[in-house]
Chain A
């Protein structure tokens, strides 16, 4: 229960009344007719307070008490305009959201621009119970607001219709507007280690990593990492420098790591995807050249951030294409 709950009680009705508004593409301007306003719970308490004050003023026939009560009536009413104005004319622009892993929070980012000459304060984004930190936008400038949503399942997380709201300046009224963008955040599967052993170039077959052939083309040295095969350690370099170096071989076609759906223990689809996700992450971390093989789709071995995100996206959307 919050102060704003009275307005929130009515929100489903308004949501239904305004259901025909179509999702916007990239940018939304908060026009007068998009903004709704209702008293907050504090607003109702304030109203009750005014009634009590008025009774007191009448009882004591006290002119200053009358004046003060009526001044507070005017102040409260004025809050309607100021709260409404706090949203009016704002531009909300969708920014690309970073993909996240299931179980994390997805942060949808929006740039809020204030073309007016009055600073806007205490703007909140909300979708259901989740929201973000309040932001303020100075006059004629913009700021970035965040809507944090729990990403529970892999695939597309559509923020859908969320609200931008404010109770500023008096907290007696809450103005809000519904915004819906045609947008989606990619949610990668939650990474789960397969049998708790990360895929390693020397990994055994159970991990689902096909043992890579030790490549034939020497590509250079890199720092030794735990788990590197002793056969690949450059002993000469050790003698020379006193440090352990691993000889890195450019892994050739057909001699690469394959992260393979079929090589995983037979569990349900989601677990397998999670395992593959973990392996992609590890393989990328190690700088390996890896390929991904899923039923009906395969990515040739490659490396780099783009490859990684391609693989992860494929895992995210596996079974229900984007």
Chain B
């Protein structure tokens, strides 16, 4: 960037610069929510400085002070983020660069670069939120940025605001066909290109890969959607809505973790199954590899894997909405043949943990009771003893199992499931903890089941001879309504009910309206997530299959895309030519043209540099006999063409005047 080049470029006028400043404020401001305040503040300060430089002729910083500023800002980014790489640091740097670029924007080319940086800033917002409100905001920002781009490229007499906005809007609308074709057909690579973006939205909640007291209670406070499942044959019964997630077999006295389950799953034995249910899931990203499936899954869909614990896994972490089709076989027997090793794993408890619980379990198992009866006894124990379902259990003393079973007796699913499995193992019945979701709201409009994070649940599985793993939900023994009606019912008398769960209390007036709104919003989110945010290689294949092009490989898809783009280009060319085909559709211009033709026939053709008035004056000089009628005609024409509010009658008069000419 040497000086000579700069002076050769046309400068940026005050008008375009003000527009640029306005666009940048709109583009930068939302990053206050995602970036360190000083970063966004610095960028906006730079923009404000540029604005004052235009308005109040405040001097701009010199080259060296700018370089120093850039250096310090970069150091600041490193100090804040610890790196210059990765999403957050990258975005911070981009914002600062954009701000500083505005400060040194002096000519057309700098301004264009600033606009391009602005388009980049739009993208960075989507790294943090792709929700509909953000997208709507960015549509406005895009319109504004494009208007500024147009304004920058209109030196000389500038277009009016309405023309600018209209043109920008029209151009963006006309870009939609290309956008859609590319979005739907551009070959989608599955994974990240340069390593997993580790800095996914950190606020995202979901199941965890271990279970210790309190790990699920966080989830219960969140109404964020966990997954949406479409059931073509109608909603499954509430009792079947167990969404199987991570399974935990290892217990260290406080925390449950997944055990070794690398072996592939043995196929479920469907002989006792009661029919099967087909459905498809749209899973919200949760940064882990497991996928949720209705319990028990029949088999893994293509490209996924069921491990020995019947947990469905994706080959890579779920970073965007993941879609898959599944079948569940309620009642199918899982792992009827349990190997000695697996049995050992399902019986292990730490030697020192829960001495009182062991005692209790030993009593149940004492006289060779059948495992079924032990399970029965444990369920009765939870049901008959004064256990209490609450989301805010008292703090547990050193030994969580004994503490819960004999002292506090207040807790929720994870306490019940964990202690139940402990009791079973102590009594010699192989058992394990299953986490996932239970329940879901049926959305009639969308025909799908919405499962929220607050539906997170933990239950137990015990292994019984000939029956394999059988689901036992000890929470149901304490609060059966939790299973039948969902968490809202279970907590309806709770003092600490989270605000969003309280809405079911009254269905009158405003509350009903709010539910309606939520419902509508939720339906929109469903389609948005499924078809926009979750659009990836699978969706692309699905779409092609629906169009009857299932057999197309990537080459075929690219060819189809190219063909469609060429088609769009051809349609555009034709449309533009058509638009320009008869330039003179203005009746007034046609009338005037007829007038000039007539004058030419009479021997006085108009000269190219002559406006109507000059022409009339010349005719008056050269052809005095025509003077009066021509002057009159021209006066009416001028009134119609340039007058403030032309009278339609004048047009008719003009036409008769033309006929009256010789």
Contact = CB atoms under 8 A, between A and B. Distances in A.
A219 interface: no
B249 interface: no
Most B CB contacts (10 A, CB to CB) among A26, A61, A82, A136 go to A61
Interface stretch (A73-81, A190-198, A286-294): A73-81
A278 to B, nearest CB: 31
A63 B156 contact: no
B595 to A, nearest CB: 15
Interface in B150-170: 150, 152-159, 163, 167
Contacts of A56: 123
Most B CB contacts (10 A, CB to CB) among A63, A82, A93, A122 go to A63
A62 B112 contact: no
B163 A119 contact: yes
Report whether over half of chain B's contact residues are helix, strand or loop; otherwise say mixed. Answer: helix
A121 B156 contact: yes
Nearest to A96: B609
Nearest to B191: A61
B193 A58 contact: yes
A63 B176 contact: no
Contacts of A94: 608
A111 interface: yes
Contacts of B188: 58
Interface string A74-100: 110111011011001100011110000
A184 interface: no
A118 B575 CA distance: 14
B159 A119 contact: yes
Interface in A95-150: 95-96, 109, 111, 115-119, 121-123, 133-136, 140, 144
A49 B194 CA distance: 18
A64 B193 contact: no
A55 interface: yes
A121 B154 contact: yes
A51 interface: no
Chain A interface residue bracket vs B: 35 or more
Contacts of A79: 171
B175 A74 contact: yes
Contact of B8 (A1, A68, A140, A170): A1
B56 to A, nearest CB: 28
Most A CB contacts (10 A, CB to CB) among B112, B130, B158 go to B112
A49 B178 contact: no
Given A73-B178, A115-B584, A95 B608 contact: yes
A15 interface: no
Nearest to B533: A63
Interface in A255-272: none
Interface in A7-64: 26-27, 32, 41-42, 45-46, 49, 53, 55-64
Contacts of B180: 70
Interface in B97-148: 108-109, 112-113, 116, 119-120, 122-123, 126-127, 130, 135, 138, 142, 146
Given A71-B142, A111-B608, A59 B155 contact: no
Contacts of A134: 155-156
Contacts, number: 190
Contacts of A53: 119-120, 123
A109 B585 CA distance: 28
Contact of A42 (B8, B109, B142): B109
Nearest to B122: A68
A85 B170 CA distance: 14
Interface string B178-221: 11101100101111111001000000000000000000000000
B536 A49 contact: no
B164 to A, nearest CB: 9
A117 B579 CA distance: 9
Contacts of B320: 61-63
Given A111-B608, A121-B157, A122-B155, A67 B179 contact: yes
Given A74-B179, A78-B171, A68 B126 contact: yes
A111 B606 CA distance: 14
B167 A75 contact: no
A42 B113 CA distance: 8
A71 B127 contact: no
B339 interface: no
B112 A3 contact: yes
A70 B186 contact: yes
A171 B112 contact: yes
A13 to B, nearest CB: 23
A121 B180 CA distance: 30
A258 B183 CA distance: 83
B508 interface: no
Contacts of A118: 579
B127 A49 contact: no
Contact of B9 (A3, A55, A82): A3
| Top-3 shortest CB links A-B | A74-B175, A74-B178, A134-B156
Interface of B: 5, 8-9, 87, 108-109, 112-113, 116, 119-120, 122-123, 126-127, 130, 135, 138, 142, 146, 149-150, 152-159, 163, 167, 171-172, 174-180, 182-183, 186, 188-194, 197, 319-320, 532-536, 569, 572-573, 576-577, 579-580, 583-586, 589, 608-609
24 contacts: A1-B5, A1-B8, A55-B193, A56-B123, A57-B123, A58-B189, A60-B192, A63-B535, A64-B126, A64-B135, A65-B126, A70-B186, A71-B179, A74-B179, A77-B175, A78-B174, A82-B171, A85-B580, A93-B608, A95-B609, A119-B159, A169-B153, A169-B154, A171-B112
Given A78-B174, A122-B153, 9 more contacts: A1-B8, A2-B9, A45-B113, A60-B127, A64-B532, A68-B126, A71-B176, A81-B576, A136-B156
